[in-house]
Copies of this chain bind each other. A is one copy, B any other.
Amino acid sequence: MTTVGILGGTGPAGQGVGLRLASAGYDVVLGSRDAERAEGVARGLTPRGAGTLRGASNEAAAAGDIVVVATPWDSAVATVSALRASLAGKVVISMVNALVREGRELIPLYPPRGAMAAQLANALVDSRVVGAFHHLPASEMVDLDSTLDADVVIFSDHADAREEVAQMVEAMPGLHAVIAGSMSLASAVEAFTAVCISINIRHKAHSYVKLAGLNN
């Protein structure tokens, strides 16, 4: 069975992805700087399906076959850099968004390489970094009874890794994979998360992106 580790997996975004990965049959390790905390969070989540979910350290999560980065944006590079050897040769999924609150809005920040996925790719030259899971409402993700039916926009400079992540996403309940293209699209995908969350704040909603008009 494929193991997926989630660095910073105890936050709302990481929990939702972990729960739905476990429900898709993966063995998920929710990682945290605080392994005990991660164990407690994992005990509160009940996947439906063949997979498993447990909490552990970020180091243990980094041992997964595939690793998801779900840390806050301002600790993402430091977290993965310390785990570079474990992550070498693997598909590493960045779901990190650099956002900051300004009044009633979240606004996008553009790191020096344009996007957080590009920052991570630069820090992990021996991994294949893929961007995914950016626009998802955490409260719906963590509720397997929700009517979530969201499109996950996927980008990477590694075509094989994009396909691998797309297959993983397709197996997850409530999610549909849409490959957008290369890392050149990273800033656009990541920044749009600020639009989704700002709309949610303004309209008191939990909206997510559907790309209508695709033949699927």
Complex interface bits, A94-135 against B, C-beta within 8 A gives 1, otherwise 0: 000000001011011010000000000000000000000000
Q: A77 to chain B: closest CB distance in Å?
A: 21
In the bound assembly, the distance between CA atoms of A192 and B135 in angstroms comes to 12
Interface residues of A (CB under 8 A from B): 102, 104-105, 107-108, 110, 137, 140, 149-150, 153, 178-182, 184-185, 187-189, 191-196, 198-199, 202-215
Are A213 and B102 also in contact (CB < 8 A) when A191-B187, A194-B188, A198-B185 are? no
In the bound assembly, the distance between CA atoms of A45 and B127 in angstroms comes to 52
* CB atoms of B214 and A205 under 8 A apart: yes
Oligomer copy total: 2
* CB atoms of B137 and A213 under 8 A apart: yes
* CB atoms of B208 and A212 under 8 A apart: yes
Q: A176 to chain B: closest CB distance in Å?
A: 11
* CB atoms of B192 and A188 under 8 A apart: yes
Taking CB atoms, residues of chain B closer than 8 Å to A214 are 199, 203, 205, 207
* CB atoms of A181 and B150 under 8 A apart: no
Which of B193, B204, B213 is the one whose CB lies under 8 Å from A205? Answer: B213
